[in-house]
Structure 1
Amino acid sequence: MASGQVEAEMTRRLEAALAPDRLTVKNESALHAGHAGDDGSGESHFAVEIAASRFEGLSRVARQRAVFNALGDLMDRIHALRIKAEAP
């Protein structure tokens, strides 16, 4: 995957797997430049805010697991992911 494409791929995978009512994927890598886990790619730290009907009745941990499962092997490229997942 070319540099600059992680955020777009995250969005694509989350939309396909979870059909969210609301989704924001934000690259926060610049805030962590020079810190542990910064691989210099500019795509190592992200924040996801997602609301999906599929989260209804799930615990916070189960919602986070659903996000991780949707991202799959893309998580190998991400050092840190802040998740706010809720039902609409």
Structure 2
Amino acid sequence: MAADPATIEAMLREALAPSHLVVRDDSALHAGHAGAASGGGHYDVTIVSERFAGHTRVARHRMVYDALRGLFPTQIHALAVTAFTDQEFQSREPSSGSSCNSQT
């Protein structure tokens, strides 16, 4: 059974206190994929938190994965993560291709 995006959002808000968070369920795009057969969903997360300051991209991803640990592998099969500090998020170039809507 795939995770509810609201559950993912709540767990990330509690663990990382993001100023911006978008959780997108991409499970429908992976119908027929072997991982989809197990019931785990595919998600894309864009998260902005000052808790990422001073951490590498790999460390930031680990922080997100650690926050969601209880959902792997039964409820989450795949997770794409884009993680920024507030300053990094604000200084992105408008042409970066991100079209996230702020959810504070």
- State how 1:1-88 maps to structure 2 within 5 Å: 6-39=4-37, 41=39, 44-76=41-73, 77-88=75-86
| Aligned pairs, number | 85
CA gap 1:13/1:61 in 2 versus in 1, 3 angstroms: same
Query: TM-score, normalising length from structure 2?
Result: 0.75
**The residue matched to 2:45 in structure 1 has which SS?**
strand
Task: State the one-letter code of the partner of 2:66.
Answer: N
Query: Is contact 1:50-1:85 (8 Å) kept?
Result: yes
More divergent stretch after superposition (55-64 vs 43-52): 43-52
**The residue matched to 2:36 in structure 1 has which SS?**
coil
For structure 2, list consecutive stretches of 5 or more residues without a partner in the other structure: 87-104
Task: State the one-letter code of the partner of 1:54.
Answer: R
**The residue matched to 1:57 in structure 2 has which SS?**
coil
Query: Is contact 2:3-2:71 (8 Å) kept?
Result: no
Q: After TM superposition, which residue ranges in structure 1, 4 or more long, deviate above 2 angstroms?
A: 3-6
Percent of aligned pairs with the same amino acid: 44
**The residue matched to 1:38 in structure 2 has which SS?**
helix
Q: Which has the larger radius of gyration?
A: 2
RMSD: 1.6
For structure 1, list consecutive stretches of 5 or more residues without a partner in the other structure: none
Query: TM-score, normalising length from structure 1?
Result: 0.87
